[in-house]
Structure 1
């Protein structure tokens, strides 16, 4: 047994592939989707997930249904969701972005390496070049990528530290 296999612990105990049909054969919307597991394990990803969706359910090894993960396979994104309150609840992967919902905070990693964090009261961006921007209801702050310039703007003041010194001006 290798050191890696000794250190691993079981997180998932099973995976099941399903197709959820949101409309009946006559085209009427169902209150609850009809869920079916294809025998050959294959399905076409429908262009409209409101009509039909393909998904995998990973069952937690802990036996806690809140830790189960549902992986939704859609034509434009992959969505991971669970009801677990102590960690991430949702992950959305599209061709350009990975977004994660963690404890009420929405984090987005963009194709260029930039990152944003939005908690509803403020948004923070780390740009691809390393500069940092923070926006709240009362202040905007910016730090340059090399850390040599900082600025803070409020409704009645602008303060900046540059290579030429400190500037503070009432607005």
Structure 2
């Protein structure tokens, strides 16, 4: 146990809950929200985040503000964001999926276990049954969950490999 504890690196230093009020006491909209930490460390989640929001700021152990994480608490989702470009910079958690943004790539895990990976140039789906589909500007390719059937389609050709043989055809 001591060996494991010695290899752990501290990533986070502190966490602070805040409430942001977007309107003053007379109901007028503020240019900047009035942000304060609640004394009892308890905050309700307002139904309209543009009126009032609850969030937690988690400070990096390295002291680098780009690595700090802001956890926004919404009635329908939880959003984690940070400005750190060398690792993940956004996480979205809803009732149906978890999505992570990393270096311009979005990875989404759905409630059924299926996964979608999207970038500017391609999309890859791993379905809940294990089948895979990849789509780019140049081709679409898929493999069945059991690995028996493979298909590829381009603007010029179609090809398939299955238990009954290979088919390749120009379009």
Which of the five TM-score ranges fits, normalised by the shorter chain? Answer: over 0.9
For residues 109 and 27 of structure 2, the distance between their equivalents in structure 1, rounded to whole angstroms, comes to 38
Instruction: After TM superposition, list the pairs within 5 Å mapping 1:135-154 onto structure 2.
Output: 135-154=135-154
Hey, what does 2:98 align to over in structure 1?
A: 98
Ranges in structure 1 where 5+ consecutive residues have no aligned partner? none
Q: How far apart are the structure 2 equivalents of 1:102 and 1:45?
A: 27
1:128 is paired with a residue whose SS is coil
SS state at 2:5 partner = helix
Distance in 1, matches of 2:4 and 2:137, equals: 48
How far did 1:138 drift? 2.1
> Hey, what's the Cα distance between the residues in 2 that align with 1:30 and 1:145?
54
**4+ long deviations beyond 6 Å:** none
Q: Note the 1:5-154 alignment, pairs <5 A.
A: 5-154=5-154
Once the two structures are TM-superposed, the CA of residue 15 in structure 1 deviates from its matched residue by: 0.8
Q: Distance in 2 between matches of 1:28 and 1:152?
A: 59
Q: Using structure 1 for the length normalisation, give the TM-score.
A: 0.94
CA distance in 2, matches of 1:92, 1:28: 30
| Counterpart Cα distance in 2 of 1:139 and 1:34 | 51
Q: Tell me, which stretches of 5 or more residues in structure 2 are unaligned?
A: none
CA distance in 2, matches of 1:3, 1:21: 46
CA distance in 2, matches of 1:120, 1:28: 41
CA drift of 1:24 comes to: 2.3
Measured on the aligned residues, the alpha-carbon RMSD in Å equals: 1.3
SS at match of 1:142: strand
The whole-number CA distance in structure 1 between the counterparts of 2:124 and 2:106 is 11
Give the paired residue count: 171
* 1:123 to partner: Cα distance: 0.3
CA deviation vs aligned residue, 1:145-168 (integer Å, no higher than 9, x gap): 111111111123211111111112
